[in-house]
C-alpha cells in the first residue's frame, strides 16, 4: 500500500485509502451491485504496490489498470470519466463577488492554492492549510457551483478549520462580509407558491452557507 502521494504542485501528503476507496466505490456503483461494489473498492484501496510514494496521475493510472486487470472494464471507464469530468468542472469554477455580472469571464478562476496561501498567511500550518483547501474544493464540486462567492469559500473553510488550530482566529477575523439585504433573494408570494423553498438539499445548503453561516 502507498504511504504518500505527491500532488501536482509538488507537495507530499499522506496516502488516504478511504478517499481512494470512496472514488472507486462511486465508479463501481454505476455498473456493479452495491455489496460487490463495496468489496471491490476495499480490495483496490488495499492492493500492495512496489513503490511507497506515488504521484497523483500515476495513482489514477494504477487504479485504472488494476480495475481492468480484474475484468471490471465498465468500472475502469467510469473511474476515468469521473476524473475527467471533475478536472474539467474545476477549471470552469470562478470566484465572483455578489455584485458582479454573471458572465463566463467574470471574477477569478478558482485556485485552491490561493486559499491555502491565505490560510498560511494567517499562521495555519502548511499541511493543514493544504488539506482544508482540498476539502473545500471537493465540497464545491459536490455543490456543482461554477460561480462561487468569497463568502461561500470562507464559510466552507471555517466549517473545516479546527477552532483550536493555530492561526484559526486570525483567519476567521478576515472573513468576507456582504450585505444580505442587497444580495439575498426577497420573498415573492407568486413565485413562492409556484416554486416553494425545499426542505433540504444542495440548494438550501448553499443558501445557508452564503447567507446564514457566520463563524
User: Which residues, other chains included, contact 116 with Cβ-Cβ below 8 Å and sequence gap of 6+?
Assistant: 126, 129, 130, 132, 133
Q: CA of 74: how far to CAs of 21, 45, 47, 109, 212, in Å?
A: 17, 18, 20, 33, 42
| Alpha helices per DSSP H over the chain | 17-28, 34-46, 56-69, 73-92, 112-121, 126-143, 150-160, 168-172, 180-183, 189-194, 202-211
Q: Using alpha carbons only, what angle is made at residue 92 by residues 111 and 168, rounded to the nearest 5 degrees? A: 30
Domain boundaries, the chain: 4-91, 94-211
Is the pLDDT score of 208 beyond 50?
A: yes
Is the pLDDT score of 213 beyond 50?
A: no
Is the pLDDT score of 198 beyond 80?
A: no
* Phi/psi at 115 (5° precision): -65, -45
Whole-model pTM?
Answer: 0.65
pLDDT > 90 fraction of the chain, expressed in percent and rounded:
8
Range with the largest mean pLDDT of 47-56, 153-162, 192-201:
153-162
Q: What pLDDT is attached to residue 102?
A: 67
Is the pLDDT score of 144 beyond 50?
A: yes
Per-residue pLDDT of 150-183, as tens digits, reads 888 888 888 888 888 888 888 877 654 433 444 4
Per-residue pLDDT of 52-103, as tens digits, reads 888 888 888 888 998 999 999 999 999 999 888 988 999 899 988 776 666 6
Which residues on neighbouring strands pair with residue 48, listed in sequence order?
A: none
In 3D, which of 96, 91, 136 has the Cα closest to residue 112? 136
Is the pLDDT score of 132 beyond 50?
A: yes
**Most distant CA pair in the chain, distance:** 64
Amino acid at each position: 500500500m502507498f504511504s504518500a502521494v505527491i500532488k501536482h504542485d509538488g507537495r507530499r501528503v499522506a496516502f488516504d485509502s478511504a478517499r481512494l476507496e470512496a472514488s472507486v466505490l462511486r465508479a463501481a456503483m454505476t455498473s456493479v451491485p452495491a455489496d460487490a461494489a463495496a468489496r471491490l473498492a476495499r480490495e483496490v484501496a488495499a492492493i500492495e504496490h512496489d513503490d511507497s510514494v506515488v504521484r497523483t496521475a500515476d495513482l489514477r493510472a494504477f487504479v485504472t489498470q488494476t480495475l481492468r486487470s480484474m475484468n471490471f472494464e465498465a468500472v475502469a471507464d467510469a473511474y476515468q470519466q469521473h476524473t475527467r469530468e471533475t478536472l474539467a468542472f474545476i477549471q470552469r469554477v470562478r470566484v465572483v463577488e455578489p455584485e458582479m455580472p454573471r458572465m463566463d469571464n467574470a471574477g477569478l478562476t478558482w485556485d485552491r492554492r490561493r486559499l491555502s496561501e491565505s490560510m498560511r498567511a494567517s499562521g495555519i500550518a502548511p499541511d493543514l492549510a493544504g488539506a482544508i483547501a482540498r476539502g473545500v474544493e471537493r465540497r464545491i464540486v459536490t455543490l456543482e457551483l461554477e460561480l462561487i462567492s468569497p463568502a461561500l469559500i470562507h464559510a466552507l473553510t471555517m466549517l473545516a478549520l479546527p477552532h483550536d488550530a493555530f492561526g484559526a482566529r486570525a483567519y476567521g477575523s478576515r472573513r468576507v462580509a456582504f450585505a444580505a439585504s442587497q444580495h439575498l433573494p426577497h420573498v415573492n408570494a407568486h413565485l413562492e407558491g409556484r416554486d416553494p423553498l425545499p426542505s433540504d438539499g444542495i440548494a438550501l445548503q448553499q443558501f445557508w452557507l452564503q447567507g446564514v453561516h457566520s463563524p
